[in-house]
Amino acid sequence: MSGVRLDGRVVLVTGAAGGLGRAYAAALAGHGATLVLNDIGVDPLGRPEQRSSAEDVAASVRSHGGRAVADASSVAGAQGGRAVVERALKEFGRLDAVVHSAGVGAPDGEFDELEDDALAAVLDSHLGGAFHVLRPAWAVMREQGYGRIVTVSSGVVLGAPFAHSYAAAKAGIIGLTRALAASGEPLGIKVNCLMPLAWTRLAAANPDPRTRDWMREHMPAEKVAPAVVALVSDDVPCNGELISVGGGRLGRVAFAVAPAARPEPFTAEAVREHLALPLEAERMQVARSVEDDVRRLRADEPPIPRSVVFAWFAAMESGDGAAAAALLAEDCEIWLPGDLPGSGTLSKAAFLELVGQLGEQFSEPIRLSFGAVTAQEDRVAVEAAGESGLRNGRSYRNRYHMLFRVRDGRIVLYKEYSDTLHIKQAFGLPDTVVTG
């Protein structure tokens, strides 16, 4: 894979004088980006502090041969947000990416003791700041049909005592990220959210000395910064993702939803009974959009796994056995029709072995086409026709039904069913039948 280069790209970093912000600035400059470095120079509780400034960071970038200007607008207000975007346009004539890292915290404490000013400062800088900077930046990005945005959330959204305002602001940023990612998709704008963990002055406030020591040793901000570089790059492969990064470790965070339960009758008692059951983590699926969630609740809607099944068919149709195999779960069972080499019920390992031989055995790729698709919950049945020529002169042609089960986006089982009756039995039909 070629190196990530950001030459010619103008990147705006808010909170650029912070522990993480300055590491982002150095890494982005190291990859060729031109930088607008914004920071007002406050401590974690928003009190003025001269320890570091955006100008220091910009000067350091320039001293290493990079291009950077500093900006001291506060992004906690709409005027400051507009000013910093205008600064980028005035200095460099364009704006390609924004990393919004700025924000202040509030003193930890009981929820009912949180003061209005402290609450406002947190919400206005982290969440408000995202709106204030990203709205004017969005206009520029939409106009140019290109943009990269990195928002910054935190692991506290998963649950932490006392950090009420901060957790709420950071969770709001996730919602904004997902909405912008969906809106930006057709516009050439990609928006992803970082959940960093690094030894900065924020971490120094952690009350546990062992955690502090561990973070000091293992979690330098420099081990988060490469993720920011990747996320603002032209060919960043993801959009709307949450990425947890710290100490050189990278973890993708997702919303997962369990299969919908349909207690009948649907009463408060039935709901309470269902909620007392443990979450079935292994049956949960990643929800990438609200549609994913709504679809799960709609009994008559083909389920998401259909796309996995179709991808599998497409891969088989084009003769790409490796791509087809990649969609199979480790513990899948695969039934291959009787006149194919290696037919019968196969494990994934056996299938992969077979795929290795397919190129030699087939004189042309298997051509598969599909007809009616029947879908329900985690099952998809497909009417299929397959055809191929074998090197030994035999040809293969068949029509059959297949039943797929999909778990976590992978096929765990597929079987041929010789007629529609079996499909009906498998599904307890009548059921929706759609044409794929």
Give the number of other Cβ atoms within 10 Å of residue 161's Cβ. Answer: 10
Binder of ligand NAD out of 12, 13, 17, 412 (CB under 6 A): 17
Per CB under 6 A, the list member of 198, 308, 334, 413 interacting with ligand NAD is: 198
Contact 334/414 with Cβ under 8 angstroms? yes
Q: How far is the CB of 156 from ligand NAD (least distance, A)?
A: 7
Closest to ligand NAD by CB, 41 vs 409, is: 41
Triad 292, 254, 196: Cα angle to 5°:
145
Neighbours of 59 (CB within 10 A): 14
Q: State the nearest-atom distance from the C-beta of 33 to ligand NAD, in Å.
A: 18
Secondary structure of residue 355 in the 3-state scheme: helix
Q: Between 121 and 346, name the residue whose CB sits nearer to ligand NAD.
A: 121
336 contacts ligand NAD (rule: CB under 6 A): no
Tell me whether residue 166 is one of the annotated catalytic residues: yes
181 binds ligand NAD (CB under 6 A): no
Which of the ranges 193-201, 300-308, 314-322, 359-367 carries the binding residues for ligand NAD, by CB under 6 A? 193-201
Distance CA 177, CA 183 (A): 10
Give the one residue of 10, 28, 42, 123 binding ligand NAD; rule: CB under 6 A: 42
How far apart (Å, rounded) are the C-alpha atoms in residues 211 and 372?
57
> Counting contacts by CB under 6 A, is residue 177 touching ligand NAD?
no
Looking at 133, 174, 176, 197, which residue binds ligand NAD (CB under 6 A)? 197
Contact region for ligand NAD (CB under 6 A) — 135-143, 199-207, 364-372, 391-399?
A: 199-207
- Binding status of residue 172 toward ligand NAD by CB under 6 A: no
For residues 340 and 342, give the distance between their C-alpha atoms in angstroms, rounded to a whole number.
Answer: 6
Binding mask 87-116 for ligand NAD (x = CB under 6 A): --------------xxxx------------
Cα–Cα distance for residue pair 143/157, rounded to 1 Å: 33
Catalytic residue among 24, 166, 414, 417: 166
Contacting residue, 88, 149, 180, 203, with ligand NAD by CB under 6 A: 203
Q: From CA 383, how far away is CA 373, in angstroms rounded?
A: 6
Cβ neighbours, 10 Å, residue 375 = 24
DSSP string across 202-262: TGGG-S-HHHHHHHHHH--GGGTHHHHHHHTSTT---SS-EEEEETTEEEEE--EEPPPP-
Alpha helices in 93-128 (DSSP H): 116-122
Nearest approach in angstroms of CB 116 to ligand NAD is: 17
Candidate ranges 88-96, 190-198, 370-378, 407-415; the one touching ligand NAD (CB under 6 A) = 190-198
HSE on the CB side for 188, CA within 13 Å?
Answer: 12
Q: Pick the closer one to ligand NAD by CB: 126 or 407.
A: 126
> Nearest approach, Cβ of 110 to ligand NAD (angstroms)?
21
- Say how far apart CA 300 and CA 4 lie, in whole Å: 45
Kindly list the residues in this chain that would bind ligand NAD in the complex (CB under 6 A): 14-15, 17-21, 38-42, 44, 74-76, 101-104, 125-126, 129, 152, 154, 196-198, 200-203
